[in-house]
Amino acid sequence: MECITLDNGLRICLDSRPYLRSCSLGLYVGSGSRFETPQTLGVSHCIEHMLFKGTDTLSARDIAEITDDTGGTLNAYTTKEYTCIYARVLTAQIRTILSLIAEMTLHPALREDELQTEKDVILEEKDSYEDSSEDLCMDCFYESFWPQDMLGKNIVGSEETIRAMTKETIRRHMEQFYVPERMVLVFSGAFDRDSVLQQCRAHFGALRAANNPLRAASPQPERFIRLIPKEVQQTILTLGLPGLPIDDPRMHACSYACSILGGAGSSRLFQRIREELGLVYSIDAFHAAYLGAGALCVSMGLSAQKQQTALREVVRLCREFPQTLTQKELDRAKMQAVAAVSMSLESPGSSASRIGRNMLLRGKVQSEEELLQNLQDVTLDEVRAVAAQLLQTERFSLCVVGRPDTQQTYRDILDAG
If you write DSSP's letter for every residue of 81-105 in order, what string do you get?
S-EEEEEEEEGGGHHHHHHHHHHHH
Number of independent structural domains in the chain: 2
pLDDT recorded at residue 417:
66
Is it the case that residue 180 has pLDDT exceeding 80?
yes
Containing 378, the helix (H) or strand (E) segment is none
Domain residues for the domain of 146 are 2-204
Task: Give the Cα-Cα-Cα angle 341, 345, 346 (nearest 5 degrees).
Answer: 125
CB atoms within 10 A of CB 106: 15
Handedness of CA 96, 119, 147, 390 (dihedral sign): negative
CA distance 246 to 361: 8
Determine, yes or no, domain membership for 127.
Answer: yes
> Is residue 106 domain-shared with residue 234, that is, in the same domain?
no
Determine, yes or no, domain membership for 371.
Answer: yes
Of 141, 174, 204, the position where a domain reaches its end is 204
- pLDDT (average), residues 3-21: 97
Is it the case that residue 140 has pLDDT exceeding 70?
yes
> Is residue 160 domain-shared with residue 231, that is, in the same domain?
no
Of 204, 233, 263, the position where a domain reaches its end is 204
> Is residue 284 domain-shared with residue 153, that is, in the same domain?
no
- Identify which of 304, 314, 240 has the alpha carbon closest to the alpha carbon of residue 277: 314
Q: How many residues are given for the chain?
A: 417
The answer to whether the beta carbons of residues 173 and 31 sit under 8 Å apart is yes
> Is residue 134 domain-shared with residue 255, that is, in the same domain?
no
Containing 316, the helix (H) or strand (E) segment is helix 307-324
- Identify which of 293, 309, 289, 287 has the alpha carbon closest to the alpha carbon of residue 237: 309
Q: If phi over 0 gives left and psi between -120 and 50 gives alpha, with beta otherwise, what is residue 399?
A: beta
- Identify which of 135, 161, 140 has the alpha carbon closest to the alpha carbon of residue 152: 140
Query: Per-residue confidence at 357, pLDDT binned at 50, 70, 90?
Result: very high
> Is residue 133 domain-shared with residue 260, that is, in the same domain?
no
Q: If phi over 0 gives left and psi between -120 and 50 gives alpha, with beta otherwise, what is residue 390?
A: alpha
Query: Phi and psi dihedrals of 58, rounded to 5?
Result: -125, 145
- pLDDT (average), residues 56-77: 97
> Is residue 288 domain-shared with residue 394, that is, in the same domain?
yes
Beta bridge partners of 237: 300, 400
The answer to whether the beta carbons of residues 299 and 137 sit under 8 Å apart is yes
Determine, yes or no, domain membership for 215.
Answer: no
Query: Cα dist. 64→58, 111, 122, 412 in Å?
Result: 10, 17, 19, 55
> Is residue 38 domain-shared with residue 127, that is, in the same domain?
yes
- Identify which of 52, 54, 93, 51 has the alpha carbon closest to the alpha carbon of residue 71: 93
> Is residue 331 domain-shared with residue 301, that is, in the same domain?
yes
- pLDDT (average), residues 83-99: 98
Determine, yes or no, domain membership for 212.
Answer: no
Determine, yes or no, domain membership for 214.
Answer: no
CA distance 335 to 387: 19
pLDDT recorded at residue 252:
98
> Is residue 247 domain-shared with residue 189, that is, in the same domain?
no
Helix orientation angle between 251-258 and 380-390, rounded to the nearest 10 degrees? 80
The answer to whether the beta carbons of residues 233 and 293 sit under 8 Å apart is no
pLDDT tens-digit map of 181-238: 999 999 999 999 999 999 999 999 999 999 999 999 999 999 999 999 999 989 999 9
Determine, yes or no, domain membership for 296.
Answer: yes
| Terminal CA-CA length for the chain | 47
Alpha-carbon 39 to chain mean position = 23
pTM, to two decimals? 0.95
Q: Which residues are designated catalytic?
A: 48
> Is residue 104 domain-shared with residue 238, that is, in the same domain?
no
Burial class (CB in 10 A: 0-12, 13-18, 19+), 221: buried
> Is residue 232 domain-shared with residue 182, that is, in the same domain?
no
pLDDT recorded at residue 405:
95
Beta bridge partners of 108: 55
Of 154, 172, 204, the position where a domain reaches its end is 204
> Is residue 176 domain-shared with residue 270, that is, in the same domain?
no
Determine, yes or no, domain membership for 395.
Answer: yes
The CATH number that applies at residue 341 is: 3.30.830.10
Determine, yes or no, domain membership for 376.
Answer: yes
Among the residues of 19-132, which ranges form H helices?
A: 43-50, 60-70, 94-106, 112-131
